[in-house]
Amino acid sequence: MSSVTLDHVHKRFGTAKGVEDVHIHIESGEFFTFLGPSGCGKTTTLRMIAGFYYPSEGNIRFGSQDVTDLPPHKRNTGMVFQNYALFPHMTVFENIAFGLQVRKVSKTEAKERVERIMGLVRLEGYGERRIDQLSGGQQQRVALARALVIEPQILLLDEPLSNLDAKLREETRFEIKRLQLELGITTIYVTHDQAEAMSMSDRIMVMQGGVVQQIGTPHDIYHAPVNRFVASFIGETNLWTGTVVAVEGDEVQVRTSSGQLLCGLRKNASPLSRIAVGESVLMSIRPESIQESLVSEGENVVTGTVEMAEFTGACVNYVAQVGSEPLRSMSINLGRPIKQRGASIGMHIPKESIYFAE
C-alpha cells in the first residue's frame, strides 16, 4: 500500500495539451476516482502514474519515493486496461500467471498465488479455459486477477466496466469495491460515469479539458459543486441565476426572475467572498430537495406551470416553468394526485438546499 502524490504534473503531446497542473495527494488505501467526459485527460494521468507516459513537467511520488523517471515494471502498480489487453490464445491461468513469470517467481509459488487470486475474483475452475471462451464479465475478472496477482502497491483501473452491460456493470462495481476493501489497496479508478464514481469512491477528482475542476468526497462534489460544469456533470440539477439583494448573518436574499429566494450560507462550502449585495450568483438546487407545496405563497415558495409530469411508481418528477427558468423536481410518491401539463404548481425550495456555484 502506498500513497500517491502528483506534484504539479503537466503532460503535453507536441503542441496538443494532454493535462495541465494536476496536483493531488492520494492517501494510502484510498479509493480515488478520476471522473470526466471523454478526452478530459483521465487516461493520460493514469498512464503517467503507471509509467507508460512521462510527465512534461512535475513529479510523481509513491509514498516518499520519487518514481517520476522509473519505467512501469519498476513501479509495482497493477493496471486494468479499458480493453483488458488479455492474451486471447492463452488460458485464464497463463494470463493471470504472466506477470509472475516475468518477475521470475517459482512455478510452485506462482501456482499457489494464481489459485488464491482466482478464488478472490470468483474464477475457481476456469484456469484451463481460453480467453475467447469467456463472457465479457469473466474476461473483466481475469484482467483484475492479472493486475492483483503481482501484489501491487497501487491498483489502477481504466474504465474497467465500460464493456459490460448495465446489470453486470452494477454487480461488478460492488465486486471491485469489495476486493478493494478486503485488500485495503490504494486504488485509482477512471470513469466517465458519475454514478460509478459516486458509489465507489472515497474521493473524486473531476476533470474537463485537461484541467482539474474539483477534488472532494462524493458528498462535497454533489452538494457543493464549484462551478457550472461540475454541477451539471454530477447528476441532475437546477442552475438558477440571480442577484444578491441582502446579506444578513448566514442568510442571503437573492432576486431571481421567479421572485426572491432566501438562501442559507454554509461556512465551508460557499465562496463567501463573492456573496455581496449587487453581485450576480449561480445557484445549484438539486431536484430531490424540492417539494411540491400545498400552499402557493410563503417563504421560498415559487409557482409555475407544469411542463412535464412523470410518474415512475416510486417517484413523481415534474418539470415546471417558473418565471423564465425551468425547475425540475423529484419527489417520493406520497399518493397525492399528479398535476397534469398546463396545471399551476407551487414548489418549495428549502433554503439549506440552495448551493452557490461559481
Ligand X SMILES: Nc1ncnc2c1ncn2[C@@H]1O[C@H](COP(=O)(O)OP(=O)(O)O)[C@@H](O)[C@H]1O
- Using CB under 6 A, count the residues that bind ligand X: 11
- Decide which of Mg ion, ligand X, none touches 18; Cβ closer than 5 to 8 Å per partner kind: ligand X
Q: Which residues contact 222 (CB under 8 A, 6 or more apart)?
A: 198, 234, 235, 286
Q: Is 150 exposed, middle or buried (0-12, 13-18, 19+ CB in 10 A)?
A: buried
Phi, psi of 66, deg, nearest 5 = -80, 115
- The residue behind cell 495541465 is 20
Task: Determine the interface stretch with ligand X among 32-40, 226-234, 304-312, 333-341 (rule: CB under 6 A).
Answer: 32-40
When asked if residue 15 is in the footprint of ligand X (CB under 6 A), the reply is: no
Angstrom distance (rounded) from CA 341 to CA 25: 50
When asked if residue 22 is in the footprint of ligand X (CB under 6 A), the reply is: no
When asked if residue 13 is in the footprint of ligand X (CB under 6 A), the reply is: yes
Q: What's the closest the beta carbon of residue 188 comes to ligand X, in angstroms?
A: 13
When asked if residue 214 is in the footprint of Mg ion (CB under 5 A), the reply is: no
Chain centroid to CA 184: how far? 20
- Our CB check for ligand X shows the closer of 44 and 139 to be 44
When asked if residue 40 is in the footprint of ligand X (CB under 6 A), the reply is: yes
* DSSP tag of 27: P
When asked if residue 149 is in the footprint of ligand X (CB under 6 A), the reply is: no
Q: What's the closest the beta carbon of residue 190 comes to Mg ion, in angstroms?
A: 6
When asked if residue 44 is in the footprint of ligand X (CB under 6 A), the reply is: yes
Contact 346, 303 (CB under 8 A): yes
When asked if residue 16 is in the footprint of ligand X (CB under 6 A), the reply is: yes
Count of C-beta atoms within a 10 Å radius of residue 209 = 14
Q: What's the closest the beta carbon of residue 55 comes to ligand X, in angstroms?
A: 13
- The residue behind cell 432566501 is 262
- Using CB under 5 A, count the residues that bind Mg ion: 1
- Our CB check for Mg ion shows the closer of 79 and 121 to be 79
When asked if residue 312 is in the footprint of ligand X (CB under 6 A), the reply is: no
Smallest CA-to-CA distance from 144 within 164, 121, 165 is with 121
Task: Determine the interface stretch with ligand X among 31-39, 174-182, 227-235, 303-311 (rule: CB under 6 A).
Answer: 31-39
Task: Determine the interface stretch with Mg ion among 21-29, 35-43, 210-218, 329-337 (rule: CB under 5 A).
Answer: 35-43
Q: Where are the alpha helices (DSSP H) in 206-346?
A: 218-223, 228-233
When asked if residue 214 is in the footprint of ligand X (CB under 6 A), the reply is: no
Q: Which of 2, 5, 9, 18 binds ligand X (CB under 6 A)?
A: 18
Angle between helices 166-183 and 136-148 (to 10 degrees): 20
When asked if residue 5 is in the footprint of Mg ion (CB under 5 A), the reply is: no
- Our CB check for ligand X shows the closer of 97 and 204 to be 204
- Our CB check for Mg ion shows the closer of 43 and 214 to be 43
Q: Is 283 exposed, middle or buried (0-12, 13-18, 19+ CB in 10 A)?
A: buried
* DSSP tag of 129: -
Q: What's the closest the beta carbon of residue 188 comes to Mg ion, in angstroms?
A: 13
When asked if residue 43 is in the footprint of ligand X (CB under 6 A), the reply is: yes
Smallest CA-to-CA distance from 260 within 238, 240, 276 is with 240
Angstrom distance (rounded) from CA 82 to CA 74: 22
Q: Which of 2, 5, 33, 43 binds Mg ion (CB under 5 A)?
A: 43
What residues make contact with ligand X under the rule CB under 6 A?
13, 16, 18, 36, 38-44
What residues make contact with Mg ion under the rule CB under 5 A?
43
